[in-house]
Amino acid sequence: MIHPIGTTKNGSAVSVDLVSSHAGPQIAQQPHLAQLAQNLLSASDVKGDHVWLEGDMGQPIGICDVIETTQADTIFYAQRLRSDVFVRYVKNRKLELTPFLSLELRRIDKNTYELLQVIFGHPLPPLPGEEGHTAKDREYWDNHAFLWGDWPVNSRTTTKTCPW
């Protein structure tokens, strides 16, 4: 189900697929994300086929669930449901509030974009195994992890050994 989400400063329409995108469930679970996304879009000029927007919203707006890790952290890896890509998780850390919002957009046509992801915090590089992944991205994920919480994972894929 395609739903209009807002318009960029330079007049491009932005919509979100509420069923099949990463952004859909995020917005369903936290409806205020739609208004925050609208605010960031209306203040942003967007150009290019694949774009990350990042904005400081001026006050804490949500919990950043990707953090830098240290040797003292308890790290494990698992595949999310319906994915064959491993994700790095950290167990023993607390949630961190952030004023940053990041949006991932993909151009559909000349004046239209699709909202793919909404993230509290800074834009994230592709995970090892995802399309477009580079050595620099791997370096990032070797030192960052998602905070373990309510992520639906395939429990049979859980491992302490780095799969990449």
- Residues 65 and 149: their CA atoms lie apart, in Å, by 9
Q: Is 92 within the bounds of a domain?
A: yes
Burial class (CB in 10 A: 0-12, 13-18, 19+), 16: buried
pLDDT, residue 35, reads 95
Q: Is 49 within the bounds of a domain?
A: yes
pLDDT, residue 48, reads 96
Boundaries of domain holding 32: 2-157
Q: What is the pTM of this model?
A: 0.83
Question: Strand, coil or helix: what is 114?
Answer: strand
pLDDT, residue 53, reads 97
Q: Is 164 within the bounds of a domain?
A: no
pLDDT, residue 96, reads 85
To which H or E segment does residue 36 belong?
helix 32-42
- Residues 81 and 102: their CA atoms lie apart, in Å, by 23
Residue written as tokens 């607390």? 94
Instruction: Quote the number of domains for the chain.
Output: 1
Residue 151 has pLDDT above 80, yes or no: no
pLDDT, residue 149, reads 81
Q: Is 45 within the bounds of a domain?
A: yes
DSSP 136: H
Q: Is 162 within the bounds of a domain?
A: no
pLDDT, residue 20, reads 86
Read off the pLDDT of residues 97-147 as tens digits, 9 standing for 90 and up: 999 999 999 999 999 999 999 999 999 999 999 988 999 999 999 999 999
Would you give the distance in Å from CA 24 to the centre of its chain? Answer: 12
Read off the pLDDT of residues 13-50 as tens digits, 9 standing for 90 and up: 999 998 888 888 889 888 999 999 999 999 999 999 99
- Quickly state the pLDDT bin for 69 (edges 50, 70, 90): very high
Q: Is 43 within the bounds of a domain?
A: yes
